[in-house]
Amino acid sequence: MNLLSVGASYRTADVATLERLAFTPSRQVEALAQLVRQPYVGEAVVVSTCNRVEVYAAVTGFHGGLGDICGVLAEHAGLSGNDLAAHLYVHYDEAAVRHAFRVAAGLDSMVVGEAQILGQLRDAYHVATEADSAGRLLHELMQQTLRVGKRAHAETGIDKAGQSVVTAALDVAAQRIGDLTGRPALVIGAGAMGALSVATLTRTGVGPVSITNRGAARAERLAEAYGATAVPYADLPAALSEADIVISATASSAPVLDRDLLAAAAPLVVLDLAVPRDVAPDATDVDGVTVIDIEGLADSRRALPAAAETAAVEQIVAAEVEHFLAWLRGSDIAPTVAALRTRADDVVAGELRKLTARRPEFTEEQRADVSRTLHRVVQQLLHSPTVRVRQLAAEPGGDQYAALLRELFDLDVPLATQANAVPEIGGEA
């Protein structure tokens, strides 16, 4: 199996395309099942956030795997393969590992260094685990990806320039309307982004803060945790009219803020952090209403962290990529070593059968002694070479040793068990 990462982000696609690609939680589970049914895809994890949609997959071939993944994404988005391809990036093997680690560290985020992506990756991994679409390779990749992200934030100051997309959105809002301290705010949606919004508003002195959500219980729990006020979703028009700032971050597949609602609540600043967008397309030019969405944030990027902090994270990523590749190469040799030991056991068993036929007078105890002696001799002969070949296989270019063993001993190792046997590790297509 090889690693393949295929996705689109704010760097390669406009918000309209990301909206079409975005997965609701239920559709995410369906997509995972659809992906692993494809001929070349053995494992899959789908990451869907406001800024990116990515598929991480273990595939049996690059071109076949890419075609399978693009087909599923195109069908989901309702786009032709050619139209979708213009917005996609593709990373293979080493490049896929590096991309995953950089994403987790916040280096590829719209707000460089933001930590929210870690939670989003963890959620995506959890969904894949529950759907049984992540196997040994993606389990290892995702676990190490999360660890690398935590390490980057713990050991460097990469997150000092900006904590989240919400922080960046509030900065843009402040540029438009001035100091936000003490201004009443409304958060629509009580999911992960809604919770982050409430926490950020509270920390930065914006408020009082109100929360509304279609599921009232979640809004009430979130309000209680931050000293905010939960508002029934049916009272949304009244809540809008009392707010100066609105952050909308629902998982709705259709807009929740239309032209009439916003016109009645003006003046207002709306931070639309949802993908698909929560503000209706025809409601972005209402008099007295300023709408800032993900696309607007991309044009108003926060200051980047200091070059030294970014360089420190890049060094962590580079070292961790090498560590993961060493594991990858070492895991490749395991099925071959196992096949070699099985071949040795089969040879010993065959010789013992011949001995029994030639010397029927041997007692059970004598045959057992001979068997133990032969097995000890074989194990001692194989021990040093197999330990050494595992060490060599973990080094750069070590994948050749598995192939060499298979050739020398004519071992039949099924392709599915050759975990990551690839002619070259580290291509990006």
147 pLDDT more than 90 = yes
Nearest in space to 265 (alpha carbons), one of 288, 281, 247: 288
pLDDT of amino acid 427? 36
pLDDT of amino acid 383? 82
**Cα 60 from Cα 137, distance rounded (Å):** 12
pLDDT of amino acid 419? 40
Q: Is the peptide bond before 267 cis (omega within 30 degrees of 0)?
A: yes
List the strands of the sheet with 289-293, edge to edge.
229-231, 209-212, 185-188, 245-248, 268-272, 289-293
Q: What is the mean predicted confidence (pLDDT) over 27-51?
A: 94
Q: How confident is the model at residue 424 (pLDDT cuts 50, 70, 90)?
A: very low
pLDDT of amino acid 306? 58
Whether 70 is catalytic: no
pLDDT of amino acid 407? 81
Among the four given CATH numbers 3.40.190.10, 3.40.109.10, 3.40.50.2300, 3.40.50.720, the one describing domain 165-298: 3.40.50.720
385 pLDDT more than 90 = no
Q: What percent of the chain has pLDDT over 70?
A: 91
Q: How confident is the model at residue 416 (pLDDT cuts 50, 70, 90)?
A: very low
Q: Are 52 and 10 in contact (CB under 8 A)?
A: yes
Q: How confident is the model at residue 409 (pLDDT cuts 50, 70, 90)?
A: confident
**Cα 135 from Cα 97, distance rounded (Å):** 16
Q: How confident is the model at residue 163 (pLDDT cuts 50, 70, 90)?
A: low
Among the four given CATH numbers 3.30.565.10, 3.30.460.30, 3.90.260.10, 3.40.228.10, the one describing domain 2-160: 3.30.460.30
Catalytic hit among 15, 50, 201, 419 = 50
The pLDDT tens digits of the residues spanning 68-114 come to: 999 999 999 999 999 999 999 999 999 999 999 999 998 998 777 87
Residues 228-253, buried b or exposed e (16+ Cβ, 10 A)? bbbbeeeebeebbeebbbbbbbbbee
Q: How confident is the model at residue 394 (pLDDT cuts 50, 70, 90)?
A: low
pLDDT of amino acid 404? 81
pLDDT of amino acid 1? 81
Q: What is the mean predicted confidence (pLDDT) over 355-362?
A: 89
Q: What is the mean predicted confidence (pLDDT) over 201-208?
A: 91
**Cα 355 from Cα 362, distance rounded (Å):** 9
pLDDT of amino acid 162? 45
Residue for token pair 């045959």? 367
pLDDT of amino acid 399? 66
Residue for token pair 């949802």? 274
274 pLDDT more than 50 = yes
- Burial class of residue 301 (count of CB atoms within 10 Å of its CB; 0-12, 13-18, 19+): middle
Q: What is the mean predicted confidence (pLDDT) over 352-377?
A: 89
pLDDT of amino acid 35? 97
**Cα 241 from Cα 238, distance rounded (Å):** 5
32 pLDDT more than 80 = yes
Q: What are the beta bridge partners of residue 413? A: none
The answer, as to whether pTM is greater than 0.85, is no
390 pLDDT more than 80 = no
The pLDDT tens digits of the residues spanning 299-342 come to: 655 444 557 788 899 999 999 998 898 888 767 677 777 888 88
The residue ranges of every structural domain in the chain are 2-160, 165-298, 325-417
Distances (CA, A) of 208 to 6, 182, 184, 203, 215: 42, 7, 5, 12, 21
Least confident of 46-55, 141-150, 382-391: 382-391
pLDDT of amino acid 396? 67
422 pLDDT more than 50 = no
52 pLDDT more than 50 = yes
> Cα-flanking dihedrals φ and ψ of residue 268, to 5°?
-165, 145
For the record, the structure tokens of 113 come out as 């260094």
3-class secondary structure for 217-267?
A: HHHHHHHHHHCCEEECHHHHHHHHHCCCEEEECCCCCCCCECHHHHHHHCC
Nearest in space to 180 (alpha carbons), one of 212, 213, 202, 210: 202
Average pLDDT score, the chain? 87
**Cα 410 from Cα 367, distance rounded (Å):** 29
**Cα 31 from Cα 75, distance rounded (Å):** 10
pLDDT of amino acid 384? 83
pLDDT of amino acid 116? 82
Ramachandran category for residue 253: left, alpha or beta (phi over 0 → left; psi -120 to 50 → alpha):
alpha
Q: How confident is the model at residue 251 (pLDDT cuts 50, 70, 90)?
A: confident
pLDDT of amino acid 298? 66
